[in-house]
Each structure stands twice: as C-alpha cells, then as structure tokens.
Structure 1
Amino acid sequence: MKHLFIAILFLLLSTTVYSTEISLQVLGSGGPIADDARASSGYVIRLDGRGRILIDAGGGIFQRFGEAGLKMDDLTFVGLTHFHTDHSSDFPALMKSAYFGDKNSPLYIAGPAAEGKFPGLIDWLSALFAPGKGAYAYLSGYIDGDADPFVLMPVEIPLEEGRLSAVTSFESFSVTALPVPHGPVPSLAYMIKIGTIKIVISGDQNLSDPAFVAFVKNSDLWVMPLPIPEGAGRVARNLHALPSKIGEVAAKAGVKTLLLSHFMARSLADLDVNVALVKKQFKGQLLLAEDLQQWDLDIKAADKGWFITP
C-alpha cells in the first residue's frame, strides 16, 4: 500500500509539472546603447499564460511590458542581475504602474549585495523609494509597509564566489542565484525550476567561474548575453564572454536550448560569424532573441528542452 501511494504521488507530481504551460518571452534583447534599436534586458517567464517571473528591467522594458499584455498584478518575483541601467532602470516605472493595479500580495525582488561602486539591493531600493529622501519617495509605501495594497520583499544575494543562494520558493516554482564575474560589477545568474524544468537566465558575465558550469548543467533553457564579438578588446572581454566561450560552456554543461540575447551593435555587425563560433562547439538547439518574441516549451519534447515559436 505504501509503495502504491508513493507511485500515485509521483504520478500526480509529474502530471502537475507537465500540465503547466511554460513560456519565455523576451521583453528586451538589446544593450546599453540605443543604436541597436532594441529595448535593454528583460525577460518574463509565463506560467499558464500569466507573467509570473521577471528577470531584469532595463530601459524600454516598461513599454514592452505593456505591449506584451502583461500585468503587474500577476508578477510574483523580480530578479535583477545587476545595477547597470540597461538591466534595472525601468523598475521604478513598473512600480508606478503597479500602483494602479489590483495586486494584493507581496512582490519578491532579488538583487546582488553591495560591492565597490555599486549598492546592494536594499540600498538601491532605498535610494529609489525611501521616505523623504528617495528619488521617488512618493512611492515609499512599497518599502516601509504602508503601501496599499502590497509591499516589496527584498532578498539581497551574497557575492561569495561559487556560493549558491536559495532565493525563494513558491508552489509552482523556485529560484536560486549564483554570483557571476562581470569585471568590477556585482552580477548574478538566476536558476528557475518549475517542476523538473530548469531555466537559467544569466546576467552579464565573462564565464570565467567554473562554478557556473555546474549551475547551468543540463538546463532545459539557458539565456545568455552575446554583446561582444570574438575579436573584442581586453576591457570588453573582462566584462563579457566571447562567442567561442559561450559555445564551450553550453556544450560542456549539456544545455538543451541556448537563447542568445543582450546584443549590441558590435555583436550584431557580424552576427552570423559570432553565432557560427557558438555552434562550432554547441550542437543543441540555438535561438536568437528579438524583442517581444515568445517561446513555449514543447512538452512532447521536454526531455530535449525544445522551445518552439507559437
């Protein structure tokens, strides 16, 4: 009887995982310079059609959020990879938009701890919303508990190299974070697990930390920036990964689907060449991001991590 119960429970859990429709929508696929004619970084994971998870909110994401038909009421979690403007500048605008909605539960938000010239998440939110001194102090209710109807629940991620942080867990998904090397800038990658499905969205990084290979291992989907070409200079290579390195890590980690994004004019100029360098080592499914493009997980091919355009 005990074994029968366990078998039935396993079947129910498996059914729950695959009855959930999972999709990834790119809100912004560009970088920090307007010449790429794209919104900056931003990604939404939809569960059963609702945008539940937002990773990054760079310039232009506010508009794309509306164009995608998303609602702040549906958001459960926001993960900011780092505090460069092209990953975070539209967050205050989204919070103003939320003021006019009907959300009545806390919004969890994660971001890196302080390092060098960069604030930690708590200080960053304070600089935006603190009563009497924040840039948008009129929205202070989101952090002082007086907001109607919801508040922000910040989770600041330690920056110890190779340290995994269990950010938060909900009924339908969990989030784990890992610090990644982005020159002097504290940056994070996020792992979102939805049942047995594993999605990793990386902030800017140069892929020099071996711990990331284990972090992204066997991912169904890995979203990775491609802002520089193979011949980029020393400073750029300290901040970002070369195309060949992306292909190497994707292959080594056994990633099923790789979505390249966060393009800049310098990587778009020879995009075919850069993509070919990735494909030289990575033989899995490779996708190129465009603003507002959405991919649904092909449940029938979930063991291969295939994402398809609707």
Structure 2
Amino acid sequence: MFKLSLYVVLFFLFATASSIAAPVASPLELLVLGSGGPGATGRAGAGYIVLVDGQPRIEVDAGPGTFVRLGQAKLPLANLDIVLLTHLHIDHTGELPGLFKARAVAGDGPVNIRLFGPTGHRGEGDEATFPSTSHFIDLLFGPDGAYSYLHDFAAPVTINATDIDASATASKTPKVIYSEGGLNISAIAGHHGDAPAVIYRIDYHNQSITFSGDIDAKGIDNLRRIAQHTELLVFNCVVLDPPGSRPVLYTLHTPPKTIGVVAADSGAKKLLLSHLSPTIDQQQANVEASIRAHYKGPIVFAEDGMRLQP
C-alpha cells in the first residue's frame, strides 16, 4: 500500500511539473532572422518569421543571410505559406530563392505560397525602375525565370503573387489583404525614395505586429494610420537625428526623434528597432534618448535570432 501511494505521489508530482514546464504558445511571436541593412556588417539583411500559435506561418522580407539564420533557428517550415515583401531592394529580397527552395524540401506535399508586395514603378530621369512584385517573381520563378526548375524540384511549388498599390495615388486607408481563421493581414502604401514600398500589419487573437519597412517622411502618415494601438511596432532605424547622417539618407529613412513621435502617436505598446546600421549600433544610448523624448514604452534593439512576443 505504501509503495502504491508513493507511486501515485510521484506520478502526480511528475505530471504537475510537466504541466508547469510545458510552454504555452503565444498567438503571435516574432523571430528576427535579420536585423541589419545593406552593408556586410555581421548582421543578416532584413527578414522576420511570424509564428502563429507556435507555428511559422509568415515570412516578412528575406534579406541576405536570413537563409542561414532560418536554419540556425531549427524551425519546421511545412506550414509557412505567406510571404510579405515591404519593397524589392536586394537587402530585403536577396534570399527569396533560398527560402523557397528550403520550403520546397521541408514537406511531402505541394507547396502553395501567397506572396504580397508593391506595384512597380518606371523611373524617369535619375529614378530607378522597379518591376511589380508579380513580375519580379515571374523573372525569378516563372517558366522563363532564373529558377524556373524550382516549380517541381522536390514538390510542386506554386507562388501566387499579389501586387499592392504603392503609388502616390494609393488609398490612405489600410486594406485587408488576407483574412482566414482569425488571422488578418492589412497593408497600406509606404514610401522609400523611388522604391515602391508597403507597410504591413498582422492581427491575430487580439495581438498585432506592424512592420514599417524602410520608410521616409512621406510615408509617416500612413504608418500612423495602420499602426494604431499595435502591440509591437517594428521600425527600421538607420539614421541619426539630423545632421548626424548623410543628407541623402533622410530621403529614404526616418530619424529617431520622428520614430519616437510616431510610436507615441500610434499608441504602440512596444517598439522594436531593426534594420540597424553600424552608426546606430555605435550610438544606441543617444538613439534611445531621442526616442524617449516622446515615446515612453519598451524599446528593444533587434539582434539576429531574437524571439519576442507582442
């Protein structure tokens, strides 16, 4: 009888300890694959995985180096089926071929990916020309694309690309681009010099993450609109307050003081600074102090491999 009672007690203790130790998946979780910018500075280029109920579902950008970081994270990829591109600069899209190949070999069945990105822009004068996202994907993976072999390399791969209006005349109201099973993704035009750009917000079970992408002053009002009361605002932070960085960079990026104003105005619960330049790394204390002049919530400087919840 004593032995039986002891076994019952031990079983109860083990079961209780197991239940306490078992992690409960947050509705949304963010994995930073790449926290750097275009330079070879030791950080991977911009890229994130959003986990939904603990499962990797959404890739946001895919900069150089994110393929390696994805492998280091040892995440299962069989459920990854949504890709969001903020714009088509190399430091945000350079690893797409590697990502899609990794996804193709991650499971046994067909791969169907919904991909979203900005419309194109035909430059005039000194402006660069950018293809639409659908044309960009066709150039890479279409029948005559550089990686056309991928469509049936390990499994049938279908990439459904949708172009989001990123023009100067685009709607100033966020548009829902995906809605299924309580997961909602909305988008609005951003602004990044002559590169068409998109701002994204992901909502699920009362949690939300908003991605500014690379953004300059002309895109700030739209960011405020879509980021209202977001739990986590991922803001690309490249330049110091003027005149601390080269003047041309302010036509492409947002300085810390303005980041603080936008984060406060939108009511963001937490601010993650990413796409960090060496200048920001060297002056983190000054950057944070400038943001704190307006924003009082938690501020986190991103690192490759960092995981955090909204």
TM-score relative to the length of structure 1: 0.83
Q: Distance in 2 between matches of 1:59 and 1:235?
A: 24
Please tell me whether the aligned partners of residues 219 and 256 of structure 1 are also in contact (alpha carbons under 8 angstroms): yes
Matched, 1:24 2:30: yes
Please tell me whether the aligned partners of residues 118 and 163 of structure 2 are also in contact (alpha carbons under 8 angstroms): yes
Please tell me whether the aligned partners of residues 104 and 157 of structure 2 are also in contact (alpha carbons under 8 angstroms): no
Please tell me whether the aligned partners of residues 32 and 49 of structure 2 are also in contact (alpha carbons under 8 angstroms): yes
Instruction: Specify the code of the residue in structure 2 equivalent to 1:75.
Output: L
Match of 1:217 in 2: 228
Match of 1:110 in 2: 116
Choose from 183, 196, 199 the match for 2:209.
Answer: 199
**Sequence identity, in percent?**
32
Bigger CA drift: 225-234 or 186-195? 225-234
Please tell me whether the aligned partners of residues 26 and 54 of structure 2 are also in contact (alpha carbons under 8 angstroms): no
CA offsets 1:88-141 (integer angstroms, 9 cap, x no match): 11011111122222153521110101013111111101110121x311121245
Q: Distance in 2 between matches of 1:47 and 1:161?
A: 28
Choose from 123, 146, 154 the match for 2:161.
Answer: 154
Choose from 107, 127, 132 the match for 1:120.
Answer: 132
Which structure 1 segments of 5+ residues have no match? 1-17, 298-310
SS in 2 for 1:40: coil
Match of 2:40 in 1: 34
Which structure 2 segments of 5+ residues have no match? 1-23, 123-128
- How far the C-alpha of 1:167 sits from its partner, in A, is 1.3
Please tell me whether the aligned partners of residues 29 and 50 of structure 2 are also in contact (alpha carbons under 8 angstroms): yes
SS in 2 for 1:292: coil
Matched, 1:97 2:102: yes
Match of 2:186 in 1: 176
The 5 Å alignment of 1:265-284 reads 265-284=278-297
Greater gyration radius:
2
The 5 Å alignment of 1:4-153 reads 20-35=26-41, 37-102=42-107, 103-104=109-110, 106-116=112-122, 117-131=129-143, 133-141=144-152, 148-153=155-160
- How far the C-alpha of 1:20 sits from its partner, in A, is 4.9
Q: Distance in 1 between matches of 2:266 and 2:309?
A: 22
CA offsets 1:152-190 (integer angstroms, 9 cap, x no match): 121110121525332111214111111111111111111
Bigger CA drift: 194-203 or 120-129? 194-203
Please tell me whether the aligned partners of residues 27 and 43 of structure 1 are also in contact (alpha carbons under 8 angstroms): yes
TM-score relative to the length of structure 2: 0.83
Q: Distance in 2 between matches of 1:180 and 1:214?
A: 11
Q: Distance in 1 between matches of 2:285 and 2:86?
A: 27
- How far the C-alpha of 1:148 sits from its partner, in A, is 3.4
